[in-house]
Structure 1
């Protein structure tokens, strides 16, 4: 936002629905309520950035209103077996489904354009079967030669049921990685009632 303010104040006003001076005044009022302290485990998000994200919610209307009835920004991530994020796409508005985020992601284009190195197929452990390296996804994603998901139909065979069970077990890795992230950053939904109560809601939104 600092770069936008320096280059185009009109764009700044369009983004946050207020001038830089008005933003500074509001920040001074809410800063004691939203400021966090750095720890040995992480550096906190600054009060200016927290306020900017919240105001962006207010400025976008229904664009970020998701099917659960909240305002949200989608975070799509890929984690490895050690709970480490190896790819993150964040910022798409909450009205877009997970499949839509992936459909237009730079990683999808890079994979299909052969610009991402994916290891060659290898023999599975304790087996002579050769298998390709793939991403494990949920039902929102399309089945491809580099992405697998569970069987979604009913009346599964024992083999299909066992496949779903093993796949779900491995999908817990990314859920665990997100859980670790949630313990460091508190995510809360924000649903403003009216502009007149904006300051009160901002205090409530960031109080933790």
Structure 2
């Protein structure tokens, strides 16, 4: 070791040895020790006792029965043992603070005063609860595994939106995050903020049947889809899509297709609108029919944003944890649609006007040349909508 390195090591050692240890004034703040007296659960218990169901729903974005059911499901995964040093945070407290955070998106340093927990404990509770919720709700987002399941989805699209042989509406949404340290422009998107991308496929009931979340906002529009597990299965022919079939009023066969907006490349099983500068009256009708059916994914994202306030602000966690939070909201979205659709879909909890904000905000495509088969299939659908419906 040369002289300069030796002197540097000695200086560091002296600094460590001479550093005075900081003596903590107390183990925990007094008001945190009285969590049971001041926590928001005391207020919620009073609301329960007064049978104020509407207030309970506004606070957690769900009915009391749904909260209790979720609590029973996650309790085995969140319950910890008390120690001689302190009492553990109960499963109910962890679920309550997580749902309140997802519903409001409040800053954790602010949230601590209503839930009476330290910021570190809140962050850990949110992560633990999200992981538990994803585990117990894993069956609520399920990719169809057979031709019959795809046909059921297509039947609903046909009955509700008159777009037959549609197996799902596909789109993506940028979820705003705080700039991760030392990330440069990796997460900086074309809209001018930092984000990760939620890619999702929705059925006619506005339920997610596939989600992929975590791609950095800088990834191109095509890359967001093409690097998903969904696209890998599609390319390998492992989605079990049905064979082409006839549509009502015609003997001509049509393939089963996913529908998206201009952000995606046209394919034999992926339809998108005609460009505006190449539209005639017939193509405009096709675009209308496609956009009408595709509105389900717009509505799904809109409901997700209005019910879960965490989407209305920058999420101040590292990207992998943001992906966990976003996925949890998507699973809760499906759970609440299935268990209490009337309250979840028609209530006005925290609904904000979008003020022209584009919910489906992937970057438009440029100069892509789709295969001839894909163009022919789109023309086939266009002819059907103009001459059969």
Matched, 1:48 2:123: yes
Q: Does the alignment pair 1:107 with 2:182?
A: no
* Corresponding position: 1:75 with 2:216: no
| Equivalent residues in 2 for 1:18-167, closer than 5 Å | 39-40=62-63, 44=99, 47-48=122-123, 57-59=179-181, 60-167=183-290
**Cα distance in 1 for residues equivalent to 2:177 and 2:227:** 26
Q: What is the TM-score when the length of structure 1 is the normalising length?
A: 0.65
Q: Distance in 2 between matches of 1:179 and 1:115?
A: 31
What is the CA-CA distance between 1:126 and the residue it aligns to? 3.1
Structure 2's unaligned 5+ residue stretches are 1-31, 33-58, 68-94, 103-121, 128-174, 317-349, 351-389
What residue number does 2:312 align with?
A: 188
Alignment partners' CA distance in 1, 2:281 and 2:177: 51
Equivalent pair of 2:241/2:256 in contact (CA under 8 Å): yes
Q: Deviations over 1:77-103 (max 9, x none)?
A: 000111110000101111113321112
In the alignment of these two chains, the number of paired residues is 161
Structure with higher Rg: it is 2
Structure 1 residues 101-141: Cα deviation after superposition (integer angstroms, max 9, x where no partner): 11211111111111111122221123333211101011121
1:154 alignment partner, SS class: helix
1:65–1:71 Cα contact (<8 Å) kept:
yes
> RMSD in angstroms over aligned alpha carbons?
3.4
More helix by share: 2
SS, match of residue 238 in structure 2: coil
Partners in 2 of 1:135 and 1:179 — Cα distance? Answer: 20
> Which residue, 141, 155, 171 being the options, matches 2:294?
171
Q: Distance in 2 between matches of 1:54 and 1:118?
A: 34
Q: In structure 2, what is the Cα distance between the partners aligned to 1:183 and 1:54?
A: 15
* Residue 57 (structure 1) shift: 3.8
Contact 1:73 1:93 in 2 (8 A): yes
- Which whole-Å CA distance do the structure 2 matches of 1:182 and 1:98 have between them? 21
